[in-house]
Copies of this chain bind each other. A is one copy, B any other.
Amino acid sequence: MSSKNLKNPGNRKISHFGEKKLIKRLLSRSRAFQPNSPFFDEFYFKSLNDDAALIDLDDKYLVVTSDLLLESKHLPAKMSAFQKGKKVVTVNVSDLAAMGAKPFGFILSLGLPQDLLMEEYDEIMEGVFKTCQSYEMGLIGGDTNESDELILSGTCLGVVDKNKVLMKEGARPGDVVAVTGPLGVAAAGFEFLLSPLSVKKNLKEILKPSTIKIIVKHALEPHTRLKEGILLAESGFVTSATDITDGLASEVGELVEASENGAGITILETMIPLIPEVEEVTTALDKNPLDLTLYYGEDFELLLTIKEDAFDQLKDKIGLIQVGVVTSSGKMEIVDKEGKTNILKPSGYQHFK
């Protein structure tokens, strides 16, 4: 009997690997198969690790991203059909925002359950159209299939000047680490929405109605920082950037890993922007608000590193909040409230259940 037969087959299931590991495995294998073509210069490869693919168009890059949403995984039951349509556009535009690119076209592949009502289909599409319109882009193509659950697979096209594009790599020791807005708000919304009925009833009595409104809106109708991404790209001072879809810790990990000059990032717990509404929810649920900001996704704020001088100059104009610094340690660290430095683990996006 070979040792192979003795292995636990569970270890070979893809559920044993995380999503990011699967993507990295895919990309590392991808290089071996790339054709010999002028398209495939080094930079073209590099973009495989980024939020979107870059294609050379003389002085610009065509930026293309693709994000697929499944009803059971990404669309909570509380979401309206309009909000579902809005979200598939939002998640894709957010990837373009992270690169400073201006979107111009959206393509939607749909999987539709047989018993979906036409009104609901129309409402989903209204969410898609109106959100595309709000970003001044059009729906330019699509594909429709019958499926067991609702599937919204979007592809977004955009452009950015070559010398302006924001990428994950480039953080340099001494840079300021900043975000574009408060974190954990959508997470608080999901904690409320997905809590058991008895807990929710209780929360409704404890929380201010305005708090519930704010956190639920962030969870069900996330916005993107497109305008900010474009302004940041145009400034020329941003050294690296990504959007926060998987929690701050995970995204910090992305920037550190993409960095080629041994850069590390140290986050200061006291600097992480929390709004009172998030603290109200975590207090009511006896949770640590830090967990919601570090390990819970769906914020869609931008995380960026920026030259120190430029940060002071741009923070008010764009609405940037410092959360840490780029170090030369090569490590991810977090300084807690007591001033103690700990290793920051990148793990952790929790899809809502």
**Which residues in A have some Cβ–Cβ distance to B below 8 Å?**
9, 12-17, 19, 22-23, 26-27, 29-30, 32-35, 37, 39-40, 44, 47-48, 52-53, 55, 57, 62, 64-68, 70, 72-74, 104-105, 107-112, 114-119, 121-122, 125-126, 129-130, 132-133, 136-149, 151, 153, 155, 157, 351
Inter-chain contact A55/B157, CB cutoff 8 Å: yes
Are B44 and A140 in contact, CB atoms less than 8 angstroms apart? yes
- B129:A30 contact, CB within 8 angstroms: yes
11 A-B pairs besides A19-B144, A19-B146 with CB distance below 8 A are A13-B115, A14-B116, A15-B114, A35-B133, A37-B138, A39-B137, A53-B140, A64-B155, A67-B143, A109-B153, A148-B149
A26 pairs with B65, CB closer than 8 A: no
Give the residues in chain B near A70, CB-CB below 8 Å.
111, 145, 147, 151
A256 → chain B closest CB, angstroms: 21
For the complex formed by this chain, how many copies does it contain in all? 2
Q: Say yes or no: B105 contacts A55, CB within 8 Å.
A: yes
CA distance A27 to B143 in the complex (A): 11
The smallest beta-carbon distance between A158 and chain B, in angstroms, is: 11
Residues from chain B with a CB closer than 8 A to the CB of A9 are: 117
Contact status B138-A55, CB under 8 Å: no
Please judge, given known A-B contacts A104-B39, A107-B53, whether A64 and B14 are in contact too, CB under 8 Å: no
The minimal Cβ–Cβ distance linking A255 to chain B, given in whole angstroms, is 19
Which of A22, A23, A44, A104 has the most B CB atoms < 10 Å from its CB?
A: A22
Most B CB contacts (10 A, CB to CB) among A35, A105, A108, A144 go to: A144
Q: Tell me which residues across on chain B come within 8 A of A37, comparing CB atoms.
A: 104, 136-138
Alpha-carbon separation in the docked complex, A27 to B110 (Å): 14
Cα–Cα, bound, A239→B118 (Å): 36
Nearest 9 interchain pairs by C-beta:
A33-B129, A53-B141, A53-B140, A68-B109, A15-B114, A153-B153, A155-B155, A35-B136, A66-B107
CB distance from A47 to the nearest CB of B (A): 7
Residues in B with CB closer than 8 Å to A132 are 33, 35
- The interface residues of chain B lying within 8 Å CB-to-CB of A47 are 140-141
Closest to A137 in B: B35
Which B residues lie within 8 Å of A19 (CB)? Answer: 144-146
Q: In the bound complex, how far is the Cα of B40 from the Cα of A105, in angstroms?
A: 10
Residue in B closest to A10 when the chains form the complex, CB atoms:
B115
A309 to B306, CA, bound (A): 64
CA distance A136 to B65 in the complex (A): 21
- Residues on B with C-beta less than 8 A from A13 are 114-118
* Nearest Cβ on chain B to A304's Cβ, whole angstroms: 21
- Of chain B, the residue at the smallest CB distance from A116 is B14
Contact B148 A72 (CB under 8 A): yes
Residues of B within 8 A of A32 (CB): 129
Other-chain contact of A105, B29, B53, B140 (Cβ < 8 Å) = B53
Given the known A-B contacts A33-B132, A53-B105, are A14 and B121 also in contact in the complex, defined by CB atoms under 8 Å? yes
List, in ascending order, chain B residues with CB within 8 A of A107's CB.
53, 64-66, 155
Chain B residues with Cβ below 8 Å from A351 are 146
Q: Please, could you name 5 A-B residue pairs with CB atoms under 8 Å apart, sorted by A?
A: A39-B137, A55-B157, A66-B153, A68-B143, A73-B147
Residues of B close to A66: CB separation below 8 A: 107-109, 141-143, 153, 155
Q: How far is the CA of A155 from the CA of B109 in the complex (A)?
A: 9
B12 and A64 contacting across the interface, CB-CB below 8 Å? no
